[in-house]
């Protein structure tokens, strides 16, 4: 279920490596801190309206992450605001809170951490492919403009290369990887 709700994040956050790193940090932050808050307050939370309460908690934790980034690097916080604001929805859509109800605290943290990290690593892998092909550069968060370029080629690229940097290019890449996965899965059987 986390794969379906995280598909939009893969498309939007993987345009630049810096954005994918920020999104991965936000995923881990929101999943783990929300699981901690839900665990700490499970005895005082009402039975009715739990999902609304979980949405509030995840949104509040995500807003704390955005606030911290606004203090550290306002430009990168503004560039990644929409992606980070989608993470509470992804957290709720994955159904993590229902799966965590019967687990102990350590298991809750490990499950939250592993689910969020897998989705974040996929975004980083896609960014490693999309950014060098689409923008002819590779970036990290930081610097005066919000991005620190590790390398950048100043040559003018043509349309098929820019297609990989767009959202449709990300969907094409996602389709190619899904096709490869299905091909290798059928070969093993």
Instruction: List average pLDDT for each run of 10 residues in the chain, which is 189 residues long.
Output: 66 83 93 91 82 90 93 86 90 84 87 90 85 73 69 57 60 72 79
185, with CB counted inside 10 A (0-12, 13-18, 19+), is exposed
Query: In the chain, where are the structural domains located?
Result: 2-188
pLDDT digits (tens, 9 = 90+) for 13-67: 878 888 899 999 999 999 999 999 988 888 888 888 888 888 999 999 999 999 9
Tell me the CB-side half-sphere exposure of residue 88, using CA atoms within 13 A.
Answer: 21
């Amino acid at each position: 279920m986390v794969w379906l709700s995280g598909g939009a994040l893969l498309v939007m956050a993987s345009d630049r490596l810096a954005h994918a790193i920020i999104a991965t940090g936000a995923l881990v932050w929101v999943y783990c801190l929300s699981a901690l808050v839900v665990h700490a307050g499970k005895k005082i939370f009402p039975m009715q309206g739990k999902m609304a309460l979980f949405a509030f908690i995840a949104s509040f934790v995500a807003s704390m992450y955005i606030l911290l980034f606004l203090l550290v690097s306002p430009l990168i916080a503004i560039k990644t605001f929409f992606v980070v604001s989608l993470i509470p929805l992804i957290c709720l859509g994955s159904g993590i809170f229902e799966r965590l109800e019967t687990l102990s605290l350590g298991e809750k943290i490990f499950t939250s951490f592993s689910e969020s990290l897998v989705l974040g690593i996929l975004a980083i892998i896609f960014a490693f492919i999309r950014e060098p092909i689409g923008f002819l550069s590779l970036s990290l968060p930081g610097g005066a403009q919000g991005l620190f370029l590790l390398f950048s080629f100043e040559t003018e690229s043509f349309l098929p290369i820019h297609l990989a940097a767009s959202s449709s290019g990300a969907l094409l890449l996602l389709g190619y990887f899904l096709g490869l996965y299905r091909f290798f899965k059928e070969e093993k059987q």
